[in-house]
């Protein structure tokens, strides 16, 4: 246990469905692709293209958690992490991109070619990339939001929420619909989090956390 604390001295919090907990505690925590709508898949594709271009080793299909227990919902797992290998990201960039893509998807479903929404995410992105939006050209808008998403990220050990919120506010001149007060989330570097680094929080711990506001 001492070696585990030394290697993974920080704790983050992952919310999951109760029925998934037994499997996670046996097999570890790994990324799940289910429940990702086509809108999210298209945005993930654009954001991952930018990550690759910038040489950033993280991807949107990774494992996400919260830096604070009070932000997690569902059944809450405490995960031991190396804070130098996790990055904290502001949700505002992704939230706006999802909203833009959601509006486009609704129009696609209501037009004369609704089958286009069933294309693979990469193909749908290429089909839409030259579309003009209020904010600019579709691909340029998503790439700009993605660049901000990745380049304003901070490692967990250097995390300063005030600076992350300031970065969002600075872009509101171009994107007034950004929401700088949205929460920040942690993206883990691990492809799989070993079961030894995962702990199911007890009811008493959850209640004490609510009383303490953590």
The alpha carbon torsion through 92, 93, 95, 101 (nearest 10 deg) reads 160
pLDDT for the residue 6: 75
What is the structure's pLDDT at 33?
A: 63
pLDDT value at residue 208: 66
What pLDDT score does 181 carry? 95
pLDDT at 207: 61
User: What is the reported pLDDT for 114?
Assistant: 84
User: What stretch of H or E contains 169?
Assistant: helix 161-170
Residue 202's pLDDT is: 78
List of residues 6+ apart from 50 with CB closer than 8 A: 143, 146, 147, 149, 150
Q: Each residue's pLDDT tens digit in the chain (214 positions)?
A: 556 667 899 999 999 999 999 999 999 998 876 678 889 999 999 999 999 999 999 999 899 999 999 999 999 999 999 999 999 999 999 999 999 999 999 989 898 778 888 999 999 999 999 999 988 999 999 999 999 999 999 999 999 999 999 999 999 999 999 999 999 999 998 889 999 999 999 765 666 665 555 5
Single pTM value for the model: 0.90
């Amino acid at each position: 246990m001492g070696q585990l604390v030394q290697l993974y001295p920080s704790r983050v919090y992952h919310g999951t469905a109760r029925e998934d907990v037994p499997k996670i505690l046996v097999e570890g925590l790994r990324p799940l692709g289910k429940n990702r709508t086509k809108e999210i898949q298209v945005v993930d594709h654009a954001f991952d293209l930018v990550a690759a271009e910038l040489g950033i080793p993280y991807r949107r299909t990774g494992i996400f958690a919260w830096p604070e227990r009070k932000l997690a919902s569902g059944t809450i797992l405490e995960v031991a992490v190396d804070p130098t290998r996790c990055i904290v990201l502001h949700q505002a960039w992704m939230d706006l991109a999802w909203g833009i893509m959601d509006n486009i998807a609704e129009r696609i479903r209501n037009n004369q070619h609704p089958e286009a929404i069933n294309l693979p995410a990469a193909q749908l992105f290429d089909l839409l990339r030259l579309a003009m939006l209020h904010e600019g050209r579709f691909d340029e808008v998503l790439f700009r939001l993605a660049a901000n998403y990745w380049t304003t990220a901070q490692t967990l050990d250097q995390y300063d929420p005030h600076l992350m919120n300031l970065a969002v506010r600075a872009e509101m001149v171009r994107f007034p619909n950004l929401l700088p007060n949205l929460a920040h989330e942690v993206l883990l570097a691990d492809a799989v989090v070993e079961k030894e680094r995962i702990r199911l929080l007890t009811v008493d711990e959850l209640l004490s956390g609510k009383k303490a506001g953590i």
